[in-house]
Structure 1
Amino acid sequence: MSFPISYEIIYSKRKSVAIQIRPDGQVIVRAPYGCPRSFINSFIHQKADWIVKHSAENKQRYEKQVQLKKDRPTLSDAQRRRYIETARSIFTQKAAYYARLMGVTYGRISIREQKTRWGSCSSKGNLNFNWRLIFAPEEVVDYIVVHELAHRKEMNHSRAFYNVVASVLPDYKVQEKWLKENGEKLWNCV
């Protein structure tokens, strides 16, 4: 008997079973070593409606992004360098300003074109920012900088972390909402 949902299993030193749906709709099951296949099949069966829905949504979004990428004009190296240098200047100034305001330090700043993140903060305090944010409203750029610097106080996304963000930008949820609604446009503006 074939199983109705195809999936890949990745075993590791974890304590629970989790389902991951990749951007292309592929279903990954992460399970502890020794977890019986019958348990995994039962788990998948229980979550089948959720899996089918999210897998289809992810696959549709992924195919749309692939098409948009094909339609997007290619940037020249000179254009890309110009955008990266503009972003470096903006993020360097904003990080210095907000770090003083928040009483935190940070390491180096890198400007990248991350596919799934607008910014990140390493455990060593190095900051990474996506250069495409230069096309977002300034308030959104401020939010990303404050968000990453807040990780210098809380290396998680707990309530305490968001309290740090809110202490600097009380209306940060407006910027989060803007990014969720318009983030894809930043990828397609150049």
Structure 2
Amino acid sequence: MSIEVKPDGSVLAVAPIDAPEHEIRWKVEKSGAWILRQQRELAQLPPPLPERQYVSGESWRYLGRQHRLRVIIGTQEGVRVTRGELLVTAKTPERAENVLNSWFRNRAQSLLAERMSVCLERASHYGIEHSGDFALRQMRTQWGSCTKVGKLNFNPRLVQAPKECIDYVILHELCHLREFNHSAAYYRLLGRVLPDWKKRRERLNRLVELPQ
């Protein structure tokens, strides 16, 4: 059986069809403290912002800094960062979205690999070991995830956040290798690994919105 707290605060419990109702109720009640904690964290997130546009004049972040988007029509598609602007060259205006998202993904792959190395060094002092392998996955409600077998996934939009916030997300997921939940023991571990994790999380949520 699994329990999930959705972005709107509602709780979804998934159980085998033959599971007794009293067992389902017991597990949900046993997880009450964790559910309330997740609901409080979700309530602190800022409301979703209007969807970003892929047109000249729109504002996009890269590594925490605001950049003005400028779309240029040309045959050599690509993105260049210069003087507070993201210069997107696309063959047609409609191609700007694909060009920018592809560039964000490529930068995320490179940057996350760099920060993963730094975070693994820090985590190793607390008995956390990992190969450093990860995958990029577009997620609507998460910056990262960790499976029970230790597979790490990260949202490519993380490249829009400052490096200190990227490190927070990586270390948050690495700590799940030791504590695969959001229990009190997990947060004690995260607090030892990254004492200022709350400030970093608040800054991440304030600066960068998850894609809608």
TM score, norm. by length of structure 1? 0.59
The answer to whether the 8 Å contact 1:106/1:152 transfers is no
Q: Deviations over 1:87-134 (max 9, x none)?
A: 011111211222232121146311122111000111121111111111
Structure 1 residues 85 and 167, CA gap change in structure 2 (3 angstroms): same
Q: Which among 72, 78, 98 is matched to residue 53 of structure 2?
A: 72
Structure 1 residues 22 and 167, CA gap change in structure 2 (3 angstroms): closer
Tell me what 1:95 maps to.
116
Structure 1 residues 125 and 182, CA gap change in structure 2 (3 angstroms): same
The answer to whether the 8 Å contact 1:112/1:130 transfers is yes
1:105 equivalenced with 2:130 (yes/no): yes
Tell me what 2:184 maps to.
159
Structure 1 residues 177 and 22, CA gap change in structure 2 (3 angstroms): closer
Q: Shift of residue 170 of structure 1?
A: 0.8
Tell me what 1:147 maps to.
172
Unaligned runs of at least 5 residues, structure 1: 1-12, 36-56
Find the aligned partners of 2:107 and 2:200 in 1 and give their Cα distance.
Answer: 21
Tell me what 2:79 maps to.
none
Displacement over 4 Å in runs of 4+: 18-23, 27-35
Find the aligned partners of 2:133 and 2:199 in 1 and give their Cα distance.
Answer: 28
Letter of the 2:103 counterpart:
R
Identity %: 28
Find the aligned partners of 2:198 and 2:150 in 1 and give their Cα distance.
Answer: 24
The answer to whether the 8 Å contact 2:137/2:153 transfers is yes
Unaligned runs of at least 5 residues, structure 2: 22-42, 55-93
Q: How many residues align?
A: 142
Q: Deviations over 1:151-183 (max 9, x none)?
A: 111111122212222222211110122233344
Find the aligned partners of 2:151 and 2:12 in 1 and give their Cα distance.
Answer: 32
The answer to whether the 8 Å contact 1:22/1:28 transfers is no
Cα RMSD, aligned residues only:
3.5
Find the aligned partners of 2:193 and 2:103 in 1 and give their Cα distance.
Answer: 30
Find the aligned partners of 2:119 and 2:144 in 1 and give their Cα distance.
Answer: 15
1:82 equivalenced with 2:82 (yes/no): no
Which structure is higher in strand share?
2
Letter of the 1:139 counterpart:
E
TM score, norm. by length of structure 2? 0.54
Bigger RCO of structures 1 and 2 (CA < 8 A, at least 6 apart): 2
Which structure is higher in helix share?
1
Letter of the 1:95 counterpart:
M
